[in-house]
Amino acid sequence: MKTTLYLARHGQTTWNKVHRFQGQLDSKLTQVGQQQSEQLALHLAPQKIDLIVSSTLGRSVDSARICQQILNIPVTHVNELIERNLGPWQGQYIADIKSDKNYHEILHQFTEVSPPKGESAVSCGSRIYQALKEIANNHFNKNILVIFHGEALRCFLAKLGHNTSGNAYDLFDNGCLLPLTYLHDDECFQLAS
């Protein structure tokens, strides 16, 4: 038995456009972000998606709502899928944070280092892993669109052993899609080739 999870990043937001960290704060989808969400749904229409699951943050909720209107399927929201908590870096412009001595390790590597009062990549990756595993176990043999966040996606993939040296902005465009299979008998995730 397997469950297929189509992992997607929400559409572009006003803060994405100006390279401002959102983390667990929020900003509205741009017109481009709305179009990216529409394109995501249209691309997935042939896959017979059974359910849309999104983070509870507004940008993911709005992207999911757009996809729901096209795919005409239920949507549910899971708080554990929210973006990584970047502490006081949230709301700051990337250019203003890059000088921090831990910037590269925090946003390009998979370690326990975190912004002050924020969440480490390892903690975020484990949280997303558990949330996706629970979603898969609650929906055997289904096709599920999961809309959440770039940094959370980077941390999750690093937990699976797919380490990169890039940051989420470089790795995952808004509206990007990554198919993932959860193999129930083996209790493991497998990236589609």
Query: Is residue 104 annotated as involved in ligand binding?
Result: no
Would you say 11 is a known binding-site residue?
yes
What single DSSP character describes residue 3? E
The sign of the dihedral angle between the CA atoms of 173, 175, 178, 182 is positive
Longest CA–CA span in the chain (Å) reads 48
4 is in an annotated binding site: no
Q: Where are the alpha helices (DSSP H) in 73-140?
A: 94-97, 103-108, 121-137
DSSP count for the chain of H helices, then E strands = 8, 6
Kindly give, in sequence order, each residue whose CB lies less than 8 Å from that of residue 178, ignoring residues fewer than 6 positions away: 6, 7, 8, 153, 191, 192
Could you give the residue numbers annotated as active site? 10, 83
Query: Quick one: DSSP state of residue 46?
Result: G
Helix orientation angle between 150-159 and 121-137, rounded to the nearest 10 degrees: 90
Instruction: Say if residue 34 carries a ligand binding annotation.
Output: no
Residue 9, marked binder = yes
Is 12 annotated to bind a ligand? Reply is: yes
CB 65 within 8 A of CB 93: no
127 marked as part of a ligand binding site:
no
Q: Tell me the Ramachandran region of residue 81: left when phi exceeds 0, alpha when psi lies from -120 to 50, beta otherwise.
A: alpha
Annotated binding site for substrate: 9-16, 59
Annotated binding site: 9-16, 59
